[in-house]
Amino acid sequence: MVGPSRPQIVLFGSSIVQMSFGHGGWGAILSEVYARKADIILRGYYGWNSTRALEVVDKVFPKDAAVQPSLVVVYFGGNDSMAPHPSGLGPHVPVTQYVDNMKKIALHLQSLSDSTRIIFLSCPPVDEAKVRQNQSPYLSEVIRTNELCKTYSDACVELCQELGLQVVDLFSTLQKADDWETVCFTDGIHLSAQGSKLVAAEVLRVVKEAEWRPSLHWKSMPTEFSEDSPYDLVSADGKKTVNSSEWTYFWEEQWD
């Protein structure tokens, strides 16, 4: 454990989480925004569904941990929503079971501490044509449709409303972009840099607008080791130093 201790923001989900530090990903964006304020911790598992996540949620988030996360961002649903394979194998989970799994995951996270906050991300859309085009010779046919994605997204949003949880409706969010099927994905399923920017913006918006005390909005959180120092860069007039701890000019985009 390195110090000083910071609030923990955990990203828990399937490939859209595991890959969120690549391709200009939304996890990398959050790490940049929360630099010197909170630690962004990645717990992403390519190909997983909500059933598999439920099997390990108590190992990823043990109740007896010395420090509990301040925020958990949870995404499962894309793999659950795949059409079932005739063999009965594969990641498909019926929508009723998906809702039950996500509810149990939410209840476990809520039990960690009174101050652990939760955001669910719902199932995003896909570029159906590209998904069909990118079929692997090593895998059975992957059937992912926007009709199925919307069913699982709606179910996730409804569950969050029932439980009073914050949620980002990815199915609607990504489709707000012009030419979204082309610009939001790398392969029809996983997020491009532009798609990740939309996800990051929505997560940051939810955090800013949530009435959480203490606030987890990055502008409201203290910056680590932000005191003035004679070792800071020297001002143009040579008479003082300039504190750079809050500078963000180097960000590709200025986030709110």
CA dihedral 87, 89, 92, 96 (to 10 degrees): 90
Please give the structure tokens belonging to residue 60.
Answer: 């990823």
Active site annotation includes 108: no
What letter would DSSP give residue 75? E
Q: Which residue among 14, 70, 81, 122 is the active-site one?
A: 14
Query: What span, in angstroms and rounded, lies between the C-alpha atoms of 228 and 199?
Result: 35
Query: What span, in angstroms and rounded, lies between the C-alpha atoms of 245 and 239?
Result: 19
- Tokens 């961002």 appear where? 73
Active site annotation includes 245: no
Q: Which residue among 187, 220, 228, 229 is the active-site one?
A: 187
Q: Which residue among 70, 80, 92, 190 is the active-site one?
A: 190
Query: What span, in angstroms and rounded, lies between the C-alpha atoms of 67 and 75?
Result: 22
Active site annotation includes 187: yes
Other CB atoms within a 10 A radius of the CB of residue 14 amount to 23
Q: Which residues of 163-172 are buried (b: 16+ CB within 10 A; e: fewer)?
A: eebbbbbbbb
Please give the positions annotated as active site.
14, 187, 190
